[in-house]
Amino acid sequence: MAAWTEDDIPDQTGRTAIVTGANTGIGFETARALAQKGAAVTLACRNPEKGKDAVERIRALQPSGSVELRVLDLSDLQSVSSFSEAYVADHERLDLLILNAGVMVPPKSETAQGFELQFGVNHLSHFALTGQLLPLVQRTPEARVVVVSSTAASFGTMNFEDLQFAERGYQAWPAYGQSKLANQLFTRELQRRLQGAGETALVTAAHPGWTATDLQRSSGLASFFNPFFAQKPPMGALPTLRAATDPDAAAASYYGPRGIGQMRGAPVVVPMVRAASKDADAVQLWEVSEELTGVRYDLVRS
């Protein structure tokens, strides 16, 4: 089958999208491609200067496009609430919510609310953001939520006794793996609850294989090998773009590169990790996420 490329993205005119962490890397390329296909794109970024620069770069490529910056710091639930309230006040619809922003193996650090940074930024704040924007998603026909995970989910485990690595001591890679497994569990559980409520919104997930971005800033080894193995950001964004726009995407489907070890190549449907199929974990993660963020969805499990 022919490789899926940006040319396969259907026209997005009239559609609205939010991309978190859109100032650089995979998020930037995702926002850029959607804008070039006609979507009105909101870049949700924590750093206003970097965000403005990204908006200008996209406008230079697509002068007629609708691109805006809104500040969103996922390390603070207050910022998530402020962003969501303002976005809901200003918009009638939300076609694509792309949960892309992420941090990988930072030194031990915490969010404003005291959560381990990777669990807080990569999962909890995206959970809160989605919950607060859900009314818009629900009222938009053919809306999608896209969650960006990683092959790192394969070594992730959910330790519900110590989600914040407080008891066992901070371990950067296991914490990253846990956060990326949480992304997959969230994808499945959100889709299940939406379907149970009779909602048509699709939830999909993607991972970019190995892509050279700023993500590797805290891992000297990964940065060192980037020039040899990593693909470039426009290629790394394709699984996300396919998950967001392929008309044939199935509920809770997961896209990644088709090459060896899913490290590089054109995007195809790939299986989620086995641990993501544990329904009890998906339910527990949902409940604990509601408790920790204080954001309760109006969706019950059927």
Ligand X SMILES: NC(=O)c1ccc[n+]([C@@H]2O[C@H](COP(=O)([O-])OP(=O)(O)OC[C@H]3O[C@@H](n4cnc5c(N)ncnc54)[C@H](OP(=O)(O)O)[C@@H]3O)[C@@H](O)[C@H]2O)c1
Catalytic residue set: 176
Nearer residue to ligand X within complex by CB, 212 or 299: 212
According to CB under 6 A, which residues from 96 to 115 bind ligand X? 100-104
CB of 115 to ligand X, least distance (A): 11
- Binding ligand X (rule: CB under 6 A), the pick from 35, 175, 201, 215 is 215
Instruction: Choose one: 2-10, 17-25, 59-67, 160-168; the region binding ligand X (CB under 6 A).
Output: 17-25
Is residue 185 part of the contact set for ligand X (CB under 6 A)? no
CB of 208 to ligand X, least distance (A): 5
Nearer residue to ligand X within complex by CB, 77 or 94: 77
Degrees (nearest 5) of the Cα angle 292, 93, 199? Answer: 65
According to CB under 6 A, which residues from 20 to 79 bind ligand X? 20-21, 23-27, 45-47, 50, 72-75
CB of 109 to ligand X, least distance (A): 10
- Three-state DSSP string of 207-234: CCCCECCHHHHHCHHHHHHHHHHCECHH
- Binding ligand X (rule: CB under 6 A), the pick from 132, 150, 253, 293 is 150
Residues at the interface with ligand X (CB under 6 A):
20-21, 23-27, 45-47, 50, 72-75, 100-104, 121, 148, 150, 207-208, 210-211, 213-215, 236
